[in-house]
Amino acid sequence: MKENSAQGLAGITVGETAICTVGKEAKGLTYRGYSIEDLANHSTFEEVAYLLIYGLLPKQKELDNFKKKIQFFQNLPTPICQILEQLPKSTHPMDVLRTACSALGCLEPETIQYHETSIVERLFSFCISALLYWYHFHNSGRKIKVNNEESTIAGHFLYLLYGKQAETWQQRALDVSLILYAEHEFNASTFAARVAISTETDFYSAIIAAIATLKGHLHGGANEAAMKLIASFENEKTVEKNIHNLLVQKTLIMGFGHRVYKDVDPRSVIIKSWAEQLTNNKSKKEKFLIAKRIEEVVWNEKRLFPNLDFYSALVYHFLEIPMGFFTPLFVISRLSGWTAHIIEQRANNRLIRPNADYIGPELRPYVALKERI
Residue 308 within a domain: yes
pLDDT at residue 239, rounded to an integer: 93
Residue 363 within a domain: no
Active-site entry in 156, 184, 258, 317: 258
CA 279 – CA 86 distance, rounded (Å): 38
Q: Find out whether 239 and 297 touch, Cβ atoms under 8 Å.
A: yes
Together in a domain, 111 and 228 = no
Assign 35 to helix, strand or coil.
strand
Together in a domain, 293 and 167 = no
Mean pLDDT, rounded, for 182-187: 94
CA 94 – CA 91 distance, rounded (Å): 8
pLDDT at residue 1, rounded to an integer: 43
For the question of residue 219 being annotated catalytic, the response is yes
Together in a domain, 109 and 148 = yes
Span of 5-14, 131-140, 145-154 with lowest mean pLDDT = 5-14
> For the segment 96-142, what is each residue's pLDDT rounded down to a tens digit?
999 999 999 999 999 877 789 999 999 999 999 999 999 999 999 99
Residue 104 neighbours by CB under 8 Å, 6+ apart: 77, 80, 122, 123, 126, 204
> For the segment 28-76, what is each residue's pLDDT rounded down to a tens digit?
899 999 999 999 999 999 999 999 999 999 999 999 999 999 999 999 9
Quote the strand ranges of the chain, DSSP E. Answer: 20-21, 30-31, 34-35
In the predicted model, is pLDDT for residue 299 greater than 90? Answer: yes
DSSP 59: P
Together in a domain, 161 and 280 = no
Dump the DSSP string for 211-251: HHHHTSTTTTTHHHHHHHHHHT-SSGGGHHHHHHHHHHTT-
Amino acid at residue number 20 = C
Q: Find out whether 147 and 74 touch, Cβ atoms under 8 Å.
A: yes
In the predicted model, is pLDDT for residue 316 greater than 50? Answer: yes
Together in a domain, 114 and 189 = yes
Residue 264 within a domain: yes
Residue 9 within a domain: no
Residue 53 neighbours by CB under 8 Å, 6+ apart: 117, 120, 336, 339, 340, 343
**Strand order from edge to edge, sheet including 30-31:** 20-21, 30-31, 34-35
Tally of domains within the chain: 2
CA 194 – CA 206 distance, rounded (Å): 7
For the question of residue 64 being annotated catalytic, the response is no
Residue 282, CB-side half-sphere exposure with 13 Å CA sphere? 2
The angle subtended at Cα 152 by Cα 146 and Cα 154, nearest 5°, is 80
β-strand partners of 306: 256
CA 78 – CA 84 distance, rounded (Å): 10
The residue with greater pLDDT, 218 or 89, is: 89
Together in a domain, 98 and 162 = yes
Together in a domain, 51 and 191 = yes
Mean pLDDT, rounded, for 349-357: 91
Residue 366 within a domain: no
In the predicted model, is pLDDT for residue 5 greater than 60? Answer: no
Domain that holds residue 298: 222-318
In the predicted model, is pLDDT for residue 298 greater than 90? Answer: yes
Largest CA distance in the chain: 77
Together in a domain, 72 and 105 = yes
CA 196 – CA 189 distance, rounded (Å): 11
pLDDT at residue 190, rounded to an integer: 96
pLDDT at residue 222, rounded to an integer: 86
pLDDT at residue 280, rounded to an integer: 87
Mean pLDDT, rounded, for 343-366: 94
For the question of residue 217 being annotated catalytic, the response is no
In the predicted model, is pLDDT for residue 332 greater than 80? Answer: yes
CA 369 – CA 361 distance, rounded (Å): 20
β-strand partners of 35: 30
Together in a domain, 286 and 334 = no
Amino acid at residue number 11 = G
> For the segment 81-101, what is each residue's pLDDT rounded down to a tens digit?
999 999 999 999 999 999 999
Nearest to 331 by CA among 197, 76, 169, 153: 153
Active-site entry in 92, 136, 138, 219: 219
The CATH number of whichever domain residue 167 belongs to comes to 1.10.580.10
CA 266 – CA 269 distance, rounded (Å): 5
Amino acid at residue number 340 = A
From residue 330, alpha-carbon distances to 58, 59, 191, 277, 327 in Å are 23, 26, 16, 21, 5
pLDDT at residue 9, rounded to an integer: 67
Active-site entry in 156, 265, 309, 317: 309
Nearest to 80 by CA among 132, 24, 155: 132
Residue 362 within a domain: no
In the predicted model, is pLDDT for residue 192 greater than 90? Answer: yes
The pairing of strands 30-31 and 20-21 is antiparallel
Together in a domain, 249 and 337 = no
What pTM value is reported for the model?
A: 0.92
The angle subtended at Cα 184 by Cα 345 and Cα 106, nearest 5°, is 55
In the predicted model, is pLDDT for residue 259 greater than 90? Answer: no
Percentage of the chain surpassing pLDDT 90?
A: 81
Mean pLDDT, rounded, for 141-149: 96
β-strand partners of 21: 30
The CATH number of whichever domain residue 279 belongs to comes to 1.10.230.10
The residue with greater pLDDT, 258 or 92, is: 92
Mean pLDDT, rounded, for 142-167: 97
Residue 35 within a domain: yes
The angle subtended at Cα 258 by Cα 180 and Cα 248, nearest 5°, is 130
Residue 364 within a domain: no
pLDDT at residue 264, rounded to an integer: 87
In the predicted model, is pLDDT for residue 3 greater than 60? Answer: no
Nearest to 333 by CA among 127, 58, 168: 127
3-state helix, strand, coil in the chain (%, to 5): 60, 0, 35
Q: Find out whether 36 and 29 touch, Cβ atoms under 8 Å.
A: yes
Dump the DSSP string for 185-208: SS-HHHHHHHHHHHTT--HHHHHH
β-strand partners of 20: 31
Together in a domain, 195 and 306 = no
Together in a domain, 206 and 70 = yes
pLDDT at residue 333, rounded to an integer: 98
